[in-house]
Amino acid sequence: MTAALPIRDVVVLEDDALVRDVLTDIIEAEGFFVHPVATAADALARITASAGCSLLLADIELGPGPNGFEAARAAQERHPELPVIYLTAWPAHSNDRHFGPRERFLRKPFRTPELVEAIRSLAAAPFFPSAAKN
């Protein structure tokens, strides 16, 4: 088994533009490159196109079309080592679901340190470590 590569590029899958912008700002401030997208199809295209994508941050409820669980499953079929952080305002989404060692689950609303800790717990290594010292 090989060691996981450091997380540097993060795809943020969130259909709410305001939440997507806030998540992007938080993650960029920690020194990561962020690719914000609004749909599962856009997330899969970004993950496939970017050899450097190393984390999917996925809202579960995305409106019409595939949800965050479905998008993550499709991404992990192509990239089995891809870590995923699931976000939701509906705690029942975690009922009867087993999360693997490369997955985290955060219930909205969460605090910025909780998100940062979830990212770092998945072997994160920002491109710009000094950005995290703000």
**Cα angle 12-14-19, degrees, rounded to a multiple of 5:** 100
H/E element, 20? helix 17-29
Residue with tokens 């996981």: 4
| CATH of the domain spanning 9-126, picked from 3.40.50.2300, 3.40.1160.10, 3.40.50.720, 3.40.50.1260 | 3.40.50.2300
- Per-residue pLDDT of 5-59, as tens digits, reads 566 889 999 999 999 999 999 999 988 899 999 999 999 999 988 666 889 999 9
- Per-residue pLDDT of 60-116, as tens digits, reads 999 899 999 999 999 999 888 899 999 998 877 566 778 888 999 999 999 999 999
For residue 134, pLDDT over 80 is answered with no
Domain ranges of the chain: 9-126
